[in-house]
Copies of this chain bind each other. A is one copy, B any other.
Amino acid sequence: MADLNLKTHLAAFKNPLYLESGRILEPFEIAYETYGELNEAKDNAIVICHALSGSHHAAGFYEGEKRPGWWDALIGGGKAVDTDKFFVICANTIGSCFGSTGPTSAAYPKLEPYRLKFPVITIKDMVKAQRLLLDSLGITRLHAVIGGSMGGMQALHYAIDYPSLAKRVIALATTSATSAWAIAFNKIAIESIVSDPEFQGGDYDISAVKSRGLRGAAIGRMAAHISFLSPESMREKFGRDYAPTDGLFDLFGKFQIERYLDYNGGNFPKWFDPLAFIYIAKAINIYDLSRGYDTLENALARARSHIYLFGFERDLLFLPAEMEAIDLAMKSVGKGDLSNYCLVKSDYGHDAFLTEVDKFSDRIAEILGAEI
């Protein structure tokens, strides 16, 4: 396997980013990684968009890392997103907490963080910022944009907001507008965070939370972890296995599923900032691809990219039917030739787009390799 030529960058933008809300973000920075090399024609770039808690670290290892970037199974030399052929870019979204400007960034010209004064951002804003990054790199044509979950929302916005930018848009496990079900899960997390006394109305000690965690954010993440799985995958992974150290009649004795939630929830606030979580959850909640275009059909009528939609069979967070509905809407506006829907067989639930890459990577390689 060839080296994927992982590089990390920070791009600074002095001009304001005009946000969908009417507010501005100025200045702003975008942290991003690249893999592979941009060719001379600058036409071999692929943008990868990350999900809610993801980062720009999509592939490869940093020194000392035990686990690679979150989509390493998909991206690399000889893999479906082949870094021997393509120049791959993954940017941390604005509003997040891995280097791009977000609610814990300094609110210029002050040195103190924005916190709750950070403007509400949208998925459309995230893509607009990424577009400026591509401009700064001299990239005006993308071989493809690929993303799952919130990353898929971004990918679809590329297709609608910048119709001539990407030749291929690949959206996995996502939707055209966030459902009440998904909003409800985000609600648990948001309420749990803001109700934690240590959150202090957003004025919490940022470094203390990073080292100690925040109970409310941990519990909120437990709820999110339910939404990432399915009843079937939980049965398969955990069943009714009980912690061998605990008595069945101990009031707080634990099933293995509870220990899994404890572990994943408990760690979360140490690596993901609670304010960033609230802002990104808000962006997901108010995501509606049709906003500004009156109807979904009007929005999709703008598309000139080939759009590939992957639904996952047991995904409860973004139902396959929601992906299929985008395909049907494309057909209804005479864009059927640009639209392709595929249902991936899986019991895993929403997270299958991260954990079962082998189930769709061949198809992605094929899409990226085909002449269109």
Contacts and interface: CB of A to CB of B under 8 A. Distances in A.
Interface of A: 20-23, 116, 119-120, 177-181, 183-185, 187-188, 191-192, 195-197, 215-216, 219, 222-223, 225-226, 229-231, 234-235, 237-240, 248-251, 255-258, 261, 265, 278-279, 282, 285-286, 288, 316, 319
B183 A258 contact: yes
Contacts of A285: 255
Contacts of A187: 222, 257-258, 261
Contacts of A184: 222, 225-226, 234, 257-258, 261
Contacts of A21: 249
A223 B188 contact: yes
Q: Which of A116, A177, A178, A219 counts the most B-chain CB atoms under 10 A from its CB?
A: A219
Given A180-B238, A187-B261, A116 B251 contact: yes
Where chain A touches its partner, the secondary structure class is helix
B240 A185 contact: no
A171 to B, nearest CB: 19
Nearest to A198: B197
Nearest to A278: B251
A192 B249 CA distance: 21
Contacts of A183: 240, 255, 257-258
Given A195-B215, A195-B219, A286-B248, A231 B179 contact: yes
B222 A191 contact: yes
B179 A191 contact: no
B219 A316 contact: no
Contacts of A178: 240
A265 B187 CA distance: 11
A21 B31 CA distance: 56
Contacts of A197: 197
B180 A239 contact: yes
Contacts of A23: 249
A226 B188 contact: yes
